[in-house]
């Protein structure tokens, strides 16, 4: 159900359904005690786990293994003033099981940058918390069809 402000909280099942339709997401982790955000391609695996594919030598693989991270993806239709956003929070782990690694070579996400398979690792985010929200027709409902811009006086 939509609240008066046009937002609707999504349950876990619906959040994961929408997340599975996104092509790109962002992983949020800590780098030198500060938040770092990286865009990544991904796929969903068993039980809503988010799987990323990266170079074994990447800073990302070293920085997130065994730590709590957040992962976010969204879709926005600016013209309609609608969209959704899903956040998965959980512990990230580099997949070390050889059989699981082989399975993910076929079933996992594809790399953007060609890296020999022997130099790639998969990072799995185990979903401890999944939250989502959706807004539909916010501008039309308010009678404002012109795009809004950020800045003074907005």
78 in a domain, yes or no?
yes
Closest by CA to 51, choosing from 41, 59, 42, 61, is 42
- pLDDT at site 100: 95
pTM for the structure as a whole: 0.82
Q: Using one digit for the tens of pLDDT, what is the confidence trace for 41-93?
A: 999 998 899 999 998 888 899 999 999 999 999 999 999 889 999 999 999 99
The pLDDT of residue 39 is above 60: yes
140 versus 124: the higher-pLDDT residue is 124
The pLDDT of residue 140 is above 60: no
1 in a domain, yes or no?
no
Q: What is the CA radius of gyration of the chain?
A: 18
149 in a domain, yes or no?
no
Contacts (Cβ under 8 Å, ≥6 apart) of 121:
53, 54, 55, 56, 61, 94, 95, 101
Domain limits for position 25: 7-137
* Total domains, the chain: 1
Q: What is the CATH number of the domain that holds 70?
A: 2.30.110.10
**Confidence tier at 4 by pLDDT (50, 70, 90):** low
109 in a domain, yes or no?
yes
Q: How far is CA 44 from CA 15, 20, 50, 53, in A?
A: 12, 6, 5, 12
127 versus 139: the higher-pLDDT residue is 127
143 in a domain, yes or no?
no
57 in a domain, yes or no?
yes
152 in a domain, yes or no?
no
25 in a domain, yes or no?
yes
- pLDDT at site 151: 38
């Amino acid at each position: 159900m939509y609240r008066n402000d046009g937002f609707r909280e999504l349950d876990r099942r619906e959040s994961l359904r929408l997340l599975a339709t996104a092509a790109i997401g962002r992983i949020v982790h800590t780098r030198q005690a500060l938040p770092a955000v990286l865009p990544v391609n991904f796929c969903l695996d068993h039980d809503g786990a988010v799987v990323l594919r990266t170079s074994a030598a990447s800073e990302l693989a070293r920085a997130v293994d065994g730590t709590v991270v957040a992962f976010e993806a969204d879709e926005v239709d600016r013209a309609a003033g609608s969209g959704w956003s899903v956040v998965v929070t959980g512990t990230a782990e580099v997949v070390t099981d050889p059989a699981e690694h082989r399975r993910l070579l076929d079933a996992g996400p594809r790399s953007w940058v060609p890296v020999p398979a022997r130099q790639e690792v998969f990072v799995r985010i185990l979903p401890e918390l999944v939250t989502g929200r959706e807004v539909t027709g916010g501008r039309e409902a308010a009678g404002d069809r012109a795009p809004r811009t950020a800045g003074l006086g907005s």
